Structure 1
Amino acid sequence: MNTIPEVVTHNYDPEGVFLSNLCDLPLAEAEQILQRIRDAGKRPIKANYLGRRLKTEAWLINERRQLLGQTRRNRPIYFFLGDFADGQDLSRPCSMVMPLAEFPSDVLTFTYPDSMASLPIATHDDHRPERQPYHGQVFTLLQIKRVVQDFGMPGERWRTDHLRRYDRFIEVQVWDERPILEFLSNAGIAASCPARGQTAPTGR
């Protein structure tokens, strides 16, 4: 597929803070949350995850400044491009799917694949065989449309092509929560966790 999907998905933990960012927390508190996820067996998380996450976000923030300038949020809210409300991530079983068109283009950036894979693929020698022109780059909405025109959406190629095994998603970084809250307010129940019968709050 060489056109981008019309929706984006935010997956989240119903026991956490909706539309939050782990890196906004003090280091000790962030590590406690990660340990809780490890202890629950919901997702394997390496010991150096938080350090890598902070490094990745520093890169995203710097690139966002160059692409968009100042934004309402210093750290992003993460989405996937497309409908990923499948509940497969047990650490984030709840989902909010909303139209991409609800966001002004000046509050969005994108990485192909997710940012924590894109940066090391572009910068570590051991990932040289997998490296593609889009790795290690942060894109605007217009730019990611051109990238998808040239390279297609990730799709299922990662399952059969070893060199594309990390290219599973296009990540969306949202730098302003107001379009999300406005969408929730206008749409009613838009964020849900059917297995738990929960919906996301419409405010913070």
Structure 2
Amino acid sequence: MDYLYHYYEKAIGPFRNLSDLPADEAAEVLDSIKHNKDVMAGRRAAGYMKRRYELEQLARAMFIAKGGQPVRKVPHYMVVGECEWLNSWYEEGAAVKIHISSFNTDTLSFSYGDLFPTFSPKVDDGKEYRGNIYTYKEMVQLIHKYGLPQVWNKEGTKGPERYIEVQVWDDEPLQISRIKGEK
């Protein structure tokens, strides 16, 4: 696990987080995005933000219980390794690539797949990584066991996991990467 990637709409810029906004503002932004059905965010279901807030707080609590040290109240999102499929979520996608050594790994939690299917009651396939949040050390072991979903499930035909999501609970390494222009 060398690099973490963050995919975003090039015109908007990286690390723009709906969860940082008050609920009414987040709803307005999401509504404006929904007018463009060609991008992934334009296809979000009703209740998306409410469920996102719930999952973020669940992930934070589980991470703290494992000894994690979040600085932020809500995470920024990255993925382990490159995942070109995520670029298709945007009209003009771009990515920031940051080496794992730029982070205090005690401020990173992981889910094997996106938080939504990982904690969805509709996804009941018995896989050990469902319904769980992992520390850095735990995720290294899980990757050793299963590999990267974007490699073994590139087309999405083998389940909902298409990448390993990283919940970044600290702004500092993200600000440093912007100054460096790391991409």
Normalised to the residue count of structure 1, the TM-score between the two structures is: 0.77
Distance 1:155 1:11, change over 3 A: closer
Aligned residues: 179
Name the residue aligned to 1:167: 161
Output aligned runs, 1:94-113, within 5 Å: 94-113=94-113
AA aligned to 1:138 is: I
Name the residue aligned to 2:53: 54
Name the residue aligned to 2:173: 179
Other structure's SS at 2:35 match: helix
Other structure's SS at 1:168 match: coil
Distance in 2 between residues matched to 1:75 and 1:26, nearest whole Å: 12
- Specify every segment of 5 or more residues in structure 2 that has no aligned partner in the other structure, as ranges: none
1:32 aligns with 2:28: yes
Check whether the contact 2:68–2:108 (CA below 8 A) recurs between aligned residues. no
Name the residue aligned to 2:18: 22
Distance in 1 between residues matched to 2:59 and 2:145, nearest whole Å: 23
Name the residue aligned to 1:143: 138
CA RMSD of aligned residues (A): 2.3
Other structure's SS at 1:40 match: coil
Other structure's SS at 1:55 match: helix
AA aligned to 1:20 is: R
| Post-superposition offset of 1:92 | 7.2
Q: Tell me the percent identity.
A: 23
- Specify every segment of 5 or more residues in structure 1 that has no aligned partner in the other structure, as ranges: 192-204
Normalised to the residue count of structure 2, the TM-score between the two structures is: 0.85
